[in-house]
Chains A and B, each alone.
Chain A
Amino acid sequence: MLILFAIFCYLALAIETAVPYFLHLRFLIPNLVVILAVDLGLRHRGAAPAVLAFAMGYAVDAFSGSALGVNAFLMTAIYLGTYEISSRLLVTNAMVGATFVFLGTIVAALGDLGLSAGAAGVQAWSAMLPTIVAQAAITALVAPIVFSILSSAKRTVGLPVAAARE
């Protein structure tokens, strides 16, 4: 699982750092790491997925902003939130996953602003919200495709695709 998510995170970061270099409309690029964090929360149980979510956030911090820990915190929080809520749901299909991704992307963006820019970031929330919601919608649209690719990859390496309920 570790290697699989490391590869996906690597690819996600490669896309997220390289594509804005050509495509200047930044909000059109989905937050792929959020999709991975949500997948961990929806389909994997135990301490290791939490550590993985933290590590993926740390990896994002290596390529974003000027402070370490912002995305590590946010990805861990998104994982934990997804895990806690989904463990109380009866179904966790792609639609539910996309909803988590939509909310997770908004939380990640607003949290990033709040944690890295403080009060000024919080003040800018309302002005930034339309762009953030647009990016969240695009990320949610892409999420089922990523979930599907992840599921195929998990099947290939013999990992469980759906989590066993506790």
Chain B
Amino acid sequence: MKGTFLWRNRVLLTASALLIISLHLLGIETKSGSYAALPALALMEVMRPVQAASARLGEGASGIVHNYFDLVGAREENAKLRAEIAQLNGERAKIAELEVENNHLSGLLELKYALGTDAVAANVIGSDATGMSHTLILGQGTASGLKPGMAVLADEGVVGRIIDASEHASRVLLIDDHNSAVDGVDQRSRARGIIAGVVDEGVIMKYVDRSEDIRKGDQIVTSGLDGIYPRGLLLGSVASVRREGPGLFLDVRVQSAVDFRSLEQVLVVTEQAPPPPPDKRG
């Protein structure tokens, strides 16, 4: 075997075969449900405990940092008072953290009632591994009723949609990712367009006709026509509109309603909203 062509070039041949397999995986859009995606779902399941633990650890670490700053002014006090202050500060940080969490959950609960559909609250436990795409990892999966394609919301507005779900974890494609597209409508002018992420430029509204009266500050909401997001949810507001330049469509930049970096809890719509009535403007 040694000395043969195959043996001498085994690395090159193996790597070439693997490169072809990778391109095949890319070409067949394997993300959800297919056999090729199963190992990825298993990996999400294996990684979930570490991510959930680190998310909790991070919350604890931020509490420690707050406690440290609170204690700087108490250097002159005796050890007993310091211990008491530390303890009180620790409790206060915990209460503050609980209050923040309570506010988040209250907001989500209000949103859930406002939606009138079934929804599940989920914790954010991680983010995209490379940072080149915009995804989040949630600590809930199919065991909680989550499935690929479901809409993910925060109390401020739309977050994204689930693209992968293992038993106890799932991944969300954020609306500012370059592979995301949401059917949106300007709440004031009723101009329709596609809200999409741009690689390094945030979010834009595509395919808005030049004749549309769309203005800076207008709120953009979901149209409900994409069959994923319920109608009327806030996507963001128009940051700028450029009418100059060539092309059939307006250049509309959108400021997303949600600060994706500070998300801790989200709401996943587990029941598909009924299709909206036809828009008067078609």
What residues make up the interface of A, taking CB atoms closer than 8 Å to B?
10, 13-14, 16-18, 20-22, 24, 26-27, 29, 31, 33, 45-47, 49-51, 53-54, 57-73, 76-77, 79-80, 83-84, 108-109, 112-113, 115-117, 120-121, 123-124, 127-128, 135
Contact = CB atoms under 8 A, between A and B. Distances in A.
Contacts of A69: 21-27, 30
Given A68-B26, A68-B31, A29 B199 contact: no
B126 A73 contact: no
Dominant SS at the A interface? Answer: helix
A51 B199 CA distance: 30
Interface residues of B, number: 59
A120 B178 contact: yes
Interface in B15-47: 15-16, 18-19, 21-27, 29-31, 36-37, 39-41, 43-44, 46-47
Interface centre among B25, B39, B58, B131 (most CB of A within 10 A): B131
A22 B51 CA distance: 12
11 contacts: A18-B126, A45-B11, A47-B11, A47-B13, A47-B14, A61-B40, A63-B126, A64-B128, A65-B135, A66-B179, A80-B12
Contacts of B23: 69, 73
B200 interface: yes
A17 B177 contact: no
A125 to B, nearest CB: 9
B129 interface: yes
B173 interface: yes
B14 A13 contact: no
A32 B82 CA distance: 41
Contacts of A128: 199-200
A80 B36 CA distance: 23
Contacts of B62: 22
Contacts of B10: 46-47
A148 to B, nearest CB: 23
Interface in B159-205: 163-164, 171, 173, 177-179, 198-201
Contacts of B132: 64-65, 109, 112-113, 116
Nearest to B196: A120
Interface centre among A29, A59, A69 (most CB of B within 10 A): A69
Contact of B133 (A57, A66, A76, A77): A66
B47 A63 contact: yes
B153 interface: no
B129 A68 contact: no
Report, nearest first, the 6 A-B pairs whose CB atoms are least far apart. A69-B25, A73-B22, A62-B40, A124-B199, A69-B26, A18-B54
A54 to B, nearest CB: 4
B22 A57 contact: yes
A127 B126 contact: no
A26 B95 CA distance: 30
Interface string B234-246: 0000000000000
A117 B181 CA distance: 13
B129 A16 contact: yes
Contacts of A120: 178, 198-199
A68 B50 contact: no
B261 interface: yes
A63 B26 contact: no
Contact of B51 (A18, A47, A109, A123): A18
A123 B198 CA distance: 11
Contacts of A135: 131
A21 B128 contact: no
A21 B24 contact: no
B272 interface: no
A68 B126 contact: no
Contacts of A27: 131
B54 A21 contact: yes
Given A67-B179, A116-B178, A18 B50 contact: yes
Contacts of A51: 14, 18
B25 A68 contact: yes
Contact of A22 (B61, B173, B198): B61
Contacts of A113: 132, 199
